[in-house]
């Protein structure tokens, strides 16, 4: 059949194997084992009781847009007006709308990676060309973005897509790096699409990672994508938002209308409750910090493994000396050792030789799973 074909998910390939294998610890998805906040669940139930099930304002409920405006204005260095906020049906929907807004067939889009594969696929579905800019791996397991190479690649490009803090690497741009990236984009007349879904999951004492919302002007060619999935442990709710340039909301809302026609009102009321639930947000960050510590304890000193605890997000991304087929190793870890992790190749060719572990899990699960991972790497790689 004549259908559009895009690369399939290697993470899903591992997960499907794990689903059919008894006694497997799942660390392959970007999802926690913690429940969504009670405040959000109760708000959704009440909204259903109140009959909040009709077609919504496609821009998003005013109460949610206002709540997000206040939240972002309080968090970042520059105010974010309600008129710049567009509610979407998930963070991925936010990225899709951003792409549909600015990217056309034949355009070039520069994407620093390794990176979550859906972003490059969203570019390809627009008929555009996704050009990967590999982050430079550091000896200690961290990563560095070469701004000079970015500048060269941006010549004639339509956009650059950032994910900071990053999935899978945990790479987190400094404010100075963001300023440099914004200046490069301005000079080339290009757009910046900034995926900031992990912005609140940082472990250096800051309230949030540096953001384009701290430095960009309201009329800059910058679109910021975000989601309730990570910060508020609401992966299954499918609720996200965009911050768009001042004066463009009406054009963007027409695109949302064509793509998914808005978000269920009862889901949006859950979002309003979540935005006000600062205790859940901080509790989850501490939960992830504990998982990060357990991952670090398990991986530090493991022969043949290079790993640096990430500044942000909730993934341990580890390089394994001599590994040339991360998908094969990930499958063996499932069937022979009872632990499912994501193969690095799922995030592009630059991720080959690495594995990604989601550490946003409860301590007992992390302790058992990380021991299985250690034993598996030793057995399969001879380390």
Range of the structural domain that residue 371 is part of: 10-36+279-381
Residue 4 lies in a domain: no
Q: What is the pLDDT of residue 287?
A: 98
Q: What is the pLDDT of residue 314?
A: 98
Q: Closest Cα to residue 313, out of 201, 158, 225?
A: 201
Q: E-assigned strands of 307-379?
A: 315-320, 339-340, 342-343, 354-358
What CATH number does residue 95 fall under? 3.40.640.10
Instruction: State pLDDT tens for residues 29-40.
Output: 999 999 999 999
Instruction: Please say if the pLDDT value at position 273 is more than 90.
Output: yes
Average pLDDT over residues 299-310: 94
Q: What is the pTM of this model?
A: 0.96
Residue 18 CA from chain centroid, whole number: 23
Residues 21 and 43 occupy one common structural domain: no
Q: What is the pLDDT of residue 29?
A: 95
Instruction: State pLDDT tens for residues 107-142.
Output: 999 999 999 999 999 999 999 999 999 999 999 888
Residue 1 lies in a domain: no
Instruction: State pLDDT tens for residues 151-207.
Output: 999 999 999 999 999 999 999 999 999 999 999 999 999 999 999 999 999 999 999
Mean pLDDT of the chain: 97
Instruction: Please say if the pLDDT value at position 383 is more than 70.
Output: no
What CATH number does residue 355 fall under? 3.90.1150.10
Number of domains composing the chain: 2
Residues 374 and 325 occupy one common structural domain: yes
Average pLDDT over residues 47-65: 97
Instruction: Please say if the pLDDT value at position 371 is more than 70.
Output: yes
Contact criterion met (CB below 8 Å) for 68 and 263? no
Burial level of 151, CB count in 10 A (0-12/13-18/19+)? Answer: middle
């Amino acid at each position: 059949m004549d259908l559009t074909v895009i690369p399939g998910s290697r993470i899903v390939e591992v997960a499907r194997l794990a689903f059919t294998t008894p006694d497997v610890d799942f660390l392959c998805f970007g999802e926690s084992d913690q429940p969504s906040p009670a405040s959000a669940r109760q708000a959704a139930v009440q909204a259903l009781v109140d009959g909040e099930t009709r077609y919504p304002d496609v821009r998003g409920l005013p109460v949610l847009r206002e709540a997000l405006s206040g939240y972002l204005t309080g968090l970042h260095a520059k105010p974010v007006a309600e008129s710049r906020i567009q509610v979407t049906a998930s963070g991925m929907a936010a990225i899709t709308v951003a792409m549909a807004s600015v990217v056309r067939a034949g355009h070039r889009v520069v994407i620093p990676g390794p990176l979550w594969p859906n972003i490059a696929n969203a570019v390809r579905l627009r008929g555009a060309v996704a050009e990967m800019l590999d982050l430079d791996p550091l000896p200690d397991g961290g990563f560095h973005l070469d701004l000079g190479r970015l500048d060269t690649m941006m010549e004639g490009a339509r956009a650059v897509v950032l994910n900071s803090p990053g999935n899978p690497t945990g790479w987190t741009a400094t404010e100075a790096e963001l300023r440099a990236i914004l200046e490069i984009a301005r000079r080339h007349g290009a757009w910046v699409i900034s995926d900031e879904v992990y912005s609140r999951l940082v472990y250096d004492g800051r309230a949030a990672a540096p953001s384009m919302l701290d430095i960009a002007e309201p009329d800059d060619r910058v679109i910021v994508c975000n989601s309730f999935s990570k910060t508020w442990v609401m992966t299954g709710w499918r609720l996200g938002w965009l911050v768009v340039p001042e004066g463009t909301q009406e054009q963007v809302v027409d695109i949302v209308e064509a793509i998914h026609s808005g978000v269920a009102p009862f889901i949006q009321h859950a979002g309003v409750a979540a935005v006000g639930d600062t205790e859940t947000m901080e509790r989850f960050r501490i939960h992830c910090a504990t998982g990060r510590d357990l991952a670090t304890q398990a991986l530090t000193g493991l022969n043949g493994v290079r790993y640096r605890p990430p500044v942000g997000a909730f993934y341990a991304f580890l390089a394994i000396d001599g590994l040339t087929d991360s998908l094969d190793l990930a499958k063996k870890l499932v069937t022979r050792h009872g632990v499912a992790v994501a193969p690095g190749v799922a995030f592009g060719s630059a991720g080959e030789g690495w594995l990604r572990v989601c550490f946003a899990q409860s301590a007992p699960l992390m302790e058992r799973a990380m021991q299985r991972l250690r034993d598996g790497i030793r057995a399969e790689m001879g380390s």
